[in-house]
Amino acid sequence: MNYIVERTQLCMKVKKSTDIVQQFSEKNSLFVNKEVALYLKSRQVLKNSKHLLNFVVLYPKRREIYMQKYVEIKRDDLTLRGMLHIPNDVSQKVPMVILLHGFCDDRNEINFVHNELSQRLCDAGIASVRFDMNGSGESDGKFEDMTISSEIADAKAMLEYVRSLDFVDKKKIALHGCSLGGCVASMVAGQCKDQIQALSMWCPAPDLVYNLQDHLTLCGQDVSNIEKDGCADVEGLKLSLKFYQDACTLDPFKEAAKFDKKVLTIHGDQDITASCTCSYKYKEIFKERAQCIIVKGAEHRFKSFDYRKARMDGAVNFLKEELL
């Protein structure tokens, strides 16, 4: 069980203090760089500093270990940056989930829910990757240049990337998206249906597109001056006229309807950012292939322990069922 670690965080679940390993040998070693070794030492996994520059040995049967690796990919002239989560056992090819974040967010998502989802999937033996879209987080580009079509291009670049990884089972790749990321995921699933095994969405927001087209509103905000001003102020960020013009060319439900496998959508019935009628519409489109979970009392951010758990458990269970 050897991993070569580069710009990596080592994530461990230690069930009890007696699980902490204090013995070292070259067999079954986990090679780390100095930064990671110092992190381990700070968590009292390493007690002897003379081993810092070389390796730390962990008993693989006594704890769950997975690797979280910083990765970069190219899409046209942009670099997209994200985190790749790899399960402990990749002796056989493993399933993969691509996580897409929402509007004005980043790869961690609201309240770090995509971090948790990646960890839960790894515990189940499923790899995942979560990138910042162009113009968001650490990825190249400006927010004002971002469009829904450019995010679709980002997602397709991520799909091409994961299909190139030798430990990934290309027949078991799923898309998961939150909010606008759910809308983008559904469109990519329709356009790349032969490469996608399952589609999971949290509070998908295709109504962002349709409300722009029909009412010139964005998440309840009036942006009717966008053509006159050439942009709109959205939470201090510049939403470009190009974003609006691009949205006017799209029909998310029509693109999503091309997807022919299982779908999950989870929505709060108090969501005023992305109406739960969007999830009902996906259910209508996908019929018996879709599972629609409506969480009573939850709004867009699922801001309680119970709401968060319902959303997390629903996605993890669905993805395990479809990919394992």
Tens of pLDDT along 105-115? 999 998 999 99
Contact criterion met (CB below 8 Å) for 189 and 224: no
The two three-digit tokens of residue 222, written as one number: 């009036």
Q: What would the mean pLDDT of 243-261 be, rounded to a whole number?
A: 98
Q: What is the pLDDT of residue 219?
A: 87
Q: What is the mean pLDDT of residues 291-319?
A: 97
Closest among 82, 53, 52, 62 to 12, alpha carbons compared = 62
Amino acid identity of 277?
T
- In sequence order, the 6+-apart residues with CB closer than 8 A to the CB of 50 are none
CB atoms within 10 A of CB 261: 14
Q: Which one, of 86, 173, 75, lies nearest residue 133 by Cα?
A: 75
The pLDDT mean for the chain works out to: 85
Q: Where are the alpha helices (DSSP H) in the chain?
A: 34-42, 113-123, 148-163, 180-191, 207-215, 226-229, 241-247, 252-256, 277-286, 305-323
Predicted local distance difference test score (pLDDT) of residue 14: 37
Which of helix, strand or coil describes residue 221?
Answer: strand
Residues of the chain with pLDDT > 70, as a percent, come to 80
Q: What is the pLDDT of residue 88?
A: 87
Q: How far, CA to CA in Å, does 179 sit from each of 47, 98, 291? A: 44, 15, 17
C-alpha closest to that of 147 among 135, 130, 139, 137: 135
Positions of CATH 3.40.50.1820 in the chain: 66-323
Which CA distances in Å does 213 have to 112, 208, 248, 251, 271?
31, 9, 5, 10, 20
Mean pLDDT of 51-61: 37
Under CATH, which number does the domain 66-323 receive?
3.40.50.1820
pLDDT at position 323 over 50:
yes
CA 98/CA 137 separation, integer angstroms: 17
